[in-house]
Copies of this chain bind each other. A is one copy, B any other.
Amino acid sequence: MSVGIVETQSVTFDTDLRLESGRILGPITIAYETYGNLNRDRSNAVLITHAWTGSAHVAGRHGEDDQKVGWWDAIVGPGRLLDTDRYFVICSNIIGSCYGSTGPTSINPKTGKRYNLSFPVITVRDMVRAQVLLLDHLGIDRLLTVLGGSMGGMQALEWATCFPERIASAVVLATSGKPSPMAIAMNAVARWAIFNDPTWKKGEYRKNPKDGLALARGIGHITFLSDESMWGKFGRRFSARDGLFDFFGRFEVERYLSYNGYNFVDRFDANSFLYLAKALDLYDVTWGCESLHEALAPVSAPIQFYAFTSDWLYPPYQTEELVNALKDLEKPVEYHLIESSYGHDAFLLEHEAFAPLVKDFLDRVSTGR
């Protein structure tokens, strides 16, 4: 069942956050949504951590007329994987984003103007520190689990390594402990597309730099799909509207990238896109440590990992590096490689494959078995 009509809430912390870069960010506003009820002993809280361009709006609708449900509605609601009759589910918008939490589109209280590029470079660890503020505010000492895919998985890893006492478990999907140079390269050309757009104006635009941002998102979509899923979805079909020998004639895959790219311009800020792309590329679970083993040593909660065979953005071998290091350290770890042609997108599309496994894992965690 759906969680029904929901509302995004917001809280502002007057504290300053000391970022990994050494810069100070404050005040910090966090937009969040919650579903279900916190139980008496505050032991049923689940944090969903979202990916690059996600938001706090995981499930339900924002009004009767809202045509679209939240981005991971399929797994949150009464009777669903994250059963809201049982769990208190929270999702907060990451800092740096543009969906209500402090980011480059926010007003810098010191200048009264939008931060734009005066916003500090942030890391995934900074995002998690901001989430800690929220949990303190909600009076939750310990999460039953933190669950996320892609950049959401990176956040879950940071919870497990930096705040091990505050989670009872973690579920990490389609992620990387350190994005590959291939993943960085794809983000690099996406950034470049925005930098090339004269309407971007070094971040001082009034209107989103349309063509550059659309192209950047188009490049992103390539990384979310796979060779196999593209054959299935588009093959070599040419747009029925275009002539094969028209200079501007397009293949279906080309139309798809363009369509989704331009749609994105209406919903996401270019500077936020750039800051979050940077956070992705900079992400390294060993940040501040000498080795992967040192970085993972503090982990105490059991972690369940998922990788997807056709994910070429964060390929399975990257998850396996983490799993093997945790096994070396004799940490409680579980790994599932899911056969899927959907590429990186699989973590959003293959919930039927992983939901029973996650459910079983959470049952075990809840009952302490």
**A contact residues vs B (CB 8 Å cutoff):** 20-23, 117, 120-121, 178-182, 184-186, 188-189, 192-193, 196-198, 211-212, 215, 218-219, 222, 225-227, 230-231, 233-236, 244-247, 250-254, 257-258, 274, 278, 281-282, 284, 312, 315
State the CA gap A265–B195 with chains docked (Å): 17
Provide 14 A-B residue pairs closer than 8 Å at the C-beta atoms, listed in order of the A residue.
A21-B244, A21-B245, A180-B230, A181-B233, A181-B251, A181-B253, A182-B222, A182-B230, A188-B250, A188-B251, A189-B189, A198-B198, A219-B219, A247-B274
Asked if residues B231 and A180 are in contact (CB atoms below 8 Å), the reply is: yes
Asked if residues A212 and B227 are in contact (CB atoms below 8 Å), the reply is: no
Closest to A230 in B: B181
Out of B219, B247, B274, name the residue touching A121 (CB < 8 Å): B247
Contacts of A211 on B, CB cut-off 8 Å? Answer: 196
State the CA gap A222–B184 with chains docked (Å): 10
Out of B22, B179, B182, B193, name the residue touching A215 (CB < 8 Å): B193
Kindly list 15 other residue pairs between chains A and B, CB separation below 8 angstroms, not including A179-B236, A182-B226, A189-B218.
A21-B244, A121-B245, A180-B230, A180-B231, A180-B236, A182-B230, A184-B253, A185-B230, A188-B251, A189-B189, A189-B219, A189-B222, A196-B211, A227-B315, A247-B274
Closest to A235 in B: B181
State the CA gap A320–B215 with chains docked (Å): 33
Asked if residues B222 and A196 are in contact (CB atoms below 8 Å), the reply is: no
Out of B182, B233, B258, name the residue touching A192 (CB < 8 Å): B258
Contacts of A274 on B, CB cut-off 8 Å? Answer: 247
Known: A21-B245, A247-B121. A236 touches B284 (CB 8 A): yes
Asked if residues A244 and B193 are in contact (CB atoms below 8 Å), the reply is: no
Contacts of A251 on B, CB cut-off 8 Å? Answer: 181, 184, 188, 281
State the CA gap A313–B226 with chains docked (Å): 12
Closest to A186 in B: B222
Known: A215-B196, A230-B180, A282-B244. A253 touches B222 (CB 8 A): no
Asked if residues B215 and A181 are in contact (CB atoms below 8 Å), the reply is: no
Contacts of A196 on B, CB cut-off 8 Å? Answer: 193, 196-197, 211-212, 215
Minimum-distance CB pairs A-B, first 5:
A181-B230, A21-B245, A188-B254, A181-B253, A121-B245
Interface of A: prevailing SS: helix
Out of B179, B234, B312, name the residue touching A181 (CB < 8 Å): B234
Residue in A23, A186, A193 whose Cβ sees the most chain B Cβ within 10 Å: A193
A261 to chain B, nearest CB (A): 8
State the CA gap A246–B22 with chains docked (Å): 12
Contacts of A234 on B, CB cut-off 8 Å? Answer: 181
Contacts of A282 on B, CB cut-off 8 Å? Answer: 244
State the CA gap A188–B225 with chains docked (Å): 15
